[in-house]
Amino acid sequence: QVQLVESGGGLVKPGGSLRLSCAASGFTVSDYYMSWIRQAPGKGLEWVSYISDGGTTIYYADSVRGRFTISRDSARNSLYLQMNSLRAEDTAVYYCAKLSGFLIDYWGQGMLVTVSS
Amino acid sequence: QSALTQPASVSGSPGQSITISCTGTISDVGSYNLVSWYQQHPGKAPKVIIYEVSKRPSGFSNRFSGSKSGNTASLTISGLQAEDEADYYCCSYAGGSSPWVFGGGTKLTVL
């Protein structure tokens, strides 16, 4: 069955960096659109980034463009989010998600990232 | 891309029906039959309950239904049960460089 397991979250100081990983099983990451979606404490959902199945199309929300980089590793069947120049407003639970067409059909369990001095 | 507009909260008694609206624009909800709805219980990841406006994932309860009129999509939950108490988010494809947009979420309270 499909599983998405995030890792790499934690506490980081403003201006610092963090790399989130999402290990996938039950399907091949490079065959699907994959995405990162975040949820600030007590707030709603926000698309952060996605990568197309072919890897040729990548999207970033305006709020993270230029600071975050999405990537994937076919050999490890994993998705990554490199987050640089972190700000307090980046504090959120980050979800790895698999898309099927235009639908998010599977979500990871979420990983908390806290940006604070 | 602005977030879709949902009521902050709705409530209903067990057995009743409620409807949650999701208002967008001609650029998103109004242009595509690609609205999905997600249910999120506290501390849990969201899960899809409706996709492509009115389709239900295999095996999911038929108490949940979706519809769309113009720039507004709606989620109706009939026969409310205690376990339906959760946050509900709509999401629409919007094309272009910001292809997906979420609603702000609606907290459903079962009285």
Burial of B7 from C-beta contacts in 10 A (0-12 / 13-18 / 19+): middle
Q: Which residues of A touch B97 (CB under 8 A)?
A: 59
Is A112 an 8 Å CB contact of chain B? no
Residues facing B38 on adjacent strands: B48, B89
The confidence score (pLDDT) of residue A102 equals 84
3-state secondary structure of B64: strand
Handedness of CA A7, B100, A58, A32 (dihedral sign): positive
Q: Which residues of B touch A62 (CB under 8 A)?
A: 98
Test B102 with A44 for CB contact under 8 angstroms: yes
Confirm if B63 and B82 have CB atoms less than 8 A apart: no
Q: Which residues of B touch A104 (CB under 8 A)?
A: 36, 38, 46, 48, 91
In what helix (H) or strand (E) does residue B18 lie, and over which residues does it extend?
Answer: strand B18-23
Could you tell me what percentage of chain B is helix, strand and coil, using 3-state DSSP and rounding each to the nearest 5? Answer: 5, 50, 50
The confidence score (pLDDT) of residue A48 equals 94
Is B46 an 8 Å CB contact of chain A? yes
Test A103 with B89 for CB contact under 8 angstroms: no
Span A97-116, pLDDT tens digits: 999 988 899 999 999 999 99
Q: C-alpha angle B100/B1/B85, rounded to 5°?
A: 60
What band does B26 get if pLDDT is binned at 50, 70 and 90? Answer: very high
The confidence score (pLDDT) of residue B2 equals 67
What band does B100 get if pLDDT is binned at 50, 70 and 90? Answer: confident
The confidence score (pLDDT) of residue B67 equals 97
What is chain A's pLDDT, residue by residue, as a tens digit (117 residues)? 999 999 999 999 999 999 999 999 999 999 999 999 999 998 999 999 999 998 889 999 999 999 999 999 999 999 999 999 999 999 999 999 999 988 899 999 999 999 999
The confidence score (pLDDT) of residue A55 equals 86
Distance CA B18, CA B8 (A): 14
Is A103 an 8 Å CB contact of chain B? yes
CA of B84 to nearest chain A CA: how many angstroms apart? 18
Distance CA A56, CA A65 (A): 17
What band does B20 get if pLDDT is binned at 50, 70 and 90? Answer: very high
Q: Which residues of A touch B89 (CB under 8 A)?
A: 44-45
The confidence score (pLDDT) of residue A54 equals 85
DSSP for chain A, please give it. --EEEEE--EEE-TT--EEEEEEEESS-GGGS-EEEEEE-TT--EEEEEEE-TTS--EEE-TTTTTTEEEEEETTTTEEEEEE-S--GGG-EEEEEEEEETTEEEEE---EEEEE--
Span B27-70, pLDDT tens digits: 999 999 999 999 999 999 999 999 999 999 988 899 999 999 99
CA of B79 to nearest chain A CA: how many angstroms apart? 25
Q: How many CB pairs under 8 A join A and B?
A: 48
Span B62-98, pLDDT tens digits: 999 999 999 999 999 999 999 999 999 999 998 877 7
Test B3 with A44 for CB contact under 8 angstroms: yes
Distance CA B12, CA B5 (A): 20
Test B34 with A102 for CB contact under 8 angstroms: yes
CA of A25 to nearest chain B CA: how many angstroms apart? 17
Mean pLDDT of chain A: 95
Q: In chain B, pLDDT over 90 holds for what percent of residues?
A: 85
Test A110 with B45 for CB contact under 8 angstroms: yes
